[in-house]
Amino acid sequence: MHDEKLVALVAGVIGVWTVSVLILLVTLRLTLHVCVGISTAMVLIFLVALRRATLRFCASVRPFHILKTDQIDCEIRPPSDGVWHVLAFIWRVFGSGRLYQAFLRWLNRKYLHWDTRFEDLGQNAATEVLSYCRTYGVQVEPWVWEKSAGEYTTMNEWFTRKSSRTSSSTSATWASRSTSSTWSIRATSCTSRLQTTTATTHRLRARW
């Protein structure tokens, strides 16, 4: 699915670049080389801005406190998801009409099959589960869930998984994961954010 998203993004960029070249040729009547150069520069500027906005969005997560283990952790937002969030919901490049609705249907269609058995979809359960773990940083080593990766029959069953009774891990949610993140995002640590928030709260209370 992530490869498909990447292909769609690349195709979209190429499409925008091609259209911009044609518009410059028709409206400004410049030479082809000049139009290609201008369009390429515009696309590069757009991609740099998109990368920065995506990393900023992926890093803008709030820390949460795991009561059972007394640990502070943060949600993982993979850039493969973040880039589409930026385009659709922050920059709103798809607007709010039919194009936007078509984009949402394309983006969310995979969830329509989360109750369908892996074998009926021609998928390997262990492969799909471990791929999800790599994408969202779910703990794999040691394996703390009640079933092995290959024993889950649907993605929804994996999504609502429970931790093993012999494990000290917390009850599982999609955000339950190891402290070693698959994605390296430039962000302040969760602990320092929580400490900053707590200190600010204390100062406000003292002021009042």
Report the pLDDT averaged over residues 83-92.
Answer: 95
Count structural domains, the chain: 1
Cis status, amide bond into 78, omega within 30 of 0? no
Could you tell me where the beta strands, DSSP code E, fall in the chain? 63-66, 71-74
**Confidence band of 189 (pLDDT split at 50, 70, 90):** very low
Largest CA distance in the chain: 72
CA distances in angstroms from 199 to 60, 180, 206, listed in the order given: 19, 27, 11
What distance, in Å, lies between the first and last C-alpha atoms of the chain? 52
- What CA–CA distance (Å, rounded) separates 26 from 133? 49
Could you list the residue range(s) of the whole structural domain that residue 52 is in? 2-207
Q: How many helices (H) and strands (E) does the chain have?
A: 7, 2
Q: Is the pTM of this model over 0.85?
A: no
Per-residue model confidence as pLDDT tens digits over 47-78:
999 999 999 999 998 888 878 778 888 888 99
Closest CA to 121 of 161, 155, 149, 148: 155
Per-residue model confidence as pLDDT tens digits over 109-152:
989 999 999 999 999 999 999 999 998 889 898 999 999 999 99
Query: Does residue 182 have a pLDDT over 70?
Result: no
CA distances in angstroms from 200 to 60, 203, 205, 206, listed in the order given: 18, 5, 9, 10
Q: Where do we find the tokens 């954010």?
A: 193
Q: Where do we find the tokens 């773990």?
A: 133
Q: For residue 142, give the amino acid letter.
A: P
